[in-house]
């Protein structure tokens, strides 16, 4: 009997998902003779049995198409929204996996996909994942599919904003995605020639950022471009929350302490990435007109770069080969151009932060970029 594999995309969309589907599908069906069942809209579709058979024609013309032909959302197997109500759909997903006689399930996406796949692996399913996220924050791979395209889009945005900054002698702040890590902002900031780069891994001093901008002004450069991750946070906020947590531990115990700790975590996440507050503070310090551009979902859309198409094809076809070999419970990634696998237990619930000694940071400092520290 032919092997039947299911495939879905989950989490945020990203350039290169369709290229990965194409690589997986062409290799699985054309080389290994497998049947491929696609689930629409992530785990919601798998829970509801919303399937589409993916045959040869389904993979034509999608190499350069952004988004995902299967649709996606952020539902998890244990929390699927159906008719506006959240429910645990684990049993339905397991049942549909068996009902369709699947040999394996391929989950394509970022941290949501890795966490959910690991959860289903623990419930006995043969799962394998592909890393797709513009944040590039997954352990087990040098680069995630979609990252290169997002860097190109963000760097081009900085390039375009240079002329406005120069013409009006302004500070222009460009906010980019990256709530937990700063890979995207760091790469795009360096590529676009940003004067200041602020990332979550390095809490910044607003005064030092202002000082760097004023030094440029004193040298006759009456504009500055600031690339900031949506999750960047100031040293002031870090110190405030450290003191709040210490006070909570001194004054409370047990469930009450835990509840307050969770509230502080939530508030701190909101405090991070307050780009408007940063803009107001910089304008106060420097007396220079300050404007904000938030790139948002622009970074996720559009045609994937050639680099992402190659990576997606490499990992998608490797995934099909691994299924044929009976390798499951892993994420398929790349190290120094070579395909590698990492156990999902080592990928799920993990975040790949920018190391503070990373060569990109060192290079940025050496060309005079301020990191706010």
- Which residues are marked as active site? 135
Please state, in angstroms and rounded to a whole number, the distance separating the CA atoms of residues 26 and 304.
19
> Exposed, middle or buried by CB within 10 Å (0-12, 13-18, 19+), for 336?
exposed
The CA dihedral of 16, 62, 38, 31, to the nearest 10 degrees, is -100
Short-list 76, 67, 70, 65, CA closest to 50: 70
Secondary element (H or E) of residue 251: helix 235-251
Which residue's entry shows tokens 């508030």? 267
Q: Are 241 and 264 in contact (CB under 8 A)?
A: yes
Residue 361's nearest CA partner among 234, 195, 232, 190 is 190
- Which of 13, 19, 5 is CA-nearest to residue 42? 13
User: Measured between alpha carbons, how far is 373 from 144 in angstroms, rounded to an integer?
Assistant: 28
DSSP code for 179: S
The helix (run of H) or strand (run of E) holding residue 9 is strand 4-9
Judged by DSSP in three states, 299 sits in helix
3-state SS assignment for residue 198 = strand
DSSP codes of every residue in 87-146: E--HHHHHHHHHHTT-SEEEEEESHHHHHHHHHHHHTT--EEEEEB-TT---TT-S--BT
Count of CB atoms situated within 10 Å of the CB of 357: 7
Collapsing DSSP to helix, strand or coil, 62 comes out as: coil
Q: Which residue has the tokens 């549909």?
A: 96
Question: What letter does residue 370 receive in the DSSP assignment?
Answer: B
């Amino acid at each position: 009997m032919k092997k039947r594999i299911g495939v879905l995309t989950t989490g945020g969309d990203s350039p290169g998902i369709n290229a990965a589907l194409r690589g997986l599908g062409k290799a699985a069906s054309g080389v290994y003779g497998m049947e491929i069942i696609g689930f629409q809209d992530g785990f919601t579709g798998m829970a509801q049995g919303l399937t589409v058979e993916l045959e040869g024609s389904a993979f034509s013309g999608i190499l350069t198409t952004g988004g995902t032909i299967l649709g996606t959302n952020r539902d998890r197997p244990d929390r699927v929204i159906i008719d506006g109500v959240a429910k645990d759909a684990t049993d339905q997903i397991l049942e549909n996996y068996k009902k369709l006689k699947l040999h394996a399930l391929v989950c394509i996406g970022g941290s949501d996909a890795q966490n959910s796949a690991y959860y289903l692996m623990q419930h006995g399913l043969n799962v394998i994942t592909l890393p797709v996220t513009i944040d590039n924050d997954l352990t087990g791979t040098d680069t995630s599919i979609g990252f290169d395209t997002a860097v190109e889009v963000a760097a081009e945005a900085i390039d375009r904003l240079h002329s406005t900054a120069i013409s009006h002698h302004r500070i222009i702040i460009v906010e980019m995605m990256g709530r937990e890590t700063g890979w995207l902002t760091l790469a795009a900031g360096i590529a676009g020639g940003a004067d200041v780069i602020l990332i979550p891994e390095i809490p910044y001093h607003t005064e030092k950022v202002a000082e760097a901008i004023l030094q440029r002004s004193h040298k006759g450069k009456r504009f500055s471009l600031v690339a900031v991750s949506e999750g960047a946070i100031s040293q002031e906020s870090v110190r405030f929350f450290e003191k709040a947590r210490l006070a909570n531990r001194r004054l409370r115990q047990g469930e009450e302490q835990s509840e307050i700790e969770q509230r502080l975590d939530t508030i701190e996440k909101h405090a991070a990435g307050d780009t408007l507050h940063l803009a107001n503070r910089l304008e106060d310090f420097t007396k220079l007109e300050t404007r904000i551009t938030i790139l948002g979902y622009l970074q996720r859309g559009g045609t994937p770069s050639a680099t992402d198409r190659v990576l997606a094809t490499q990992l998608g076809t490797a995934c099909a080969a691994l299924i044929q070999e009976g390798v499951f419970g892993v994420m398929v990634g790349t190290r120094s151009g070579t395909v590698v696998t990492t156990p999902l237990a080592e990928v799920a619930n993990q975040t790949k932060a920018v190391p503070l000694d990373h060569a990109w940071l060192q290079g940025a400092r050496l060309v005079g970029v301020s990191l706010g520290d």
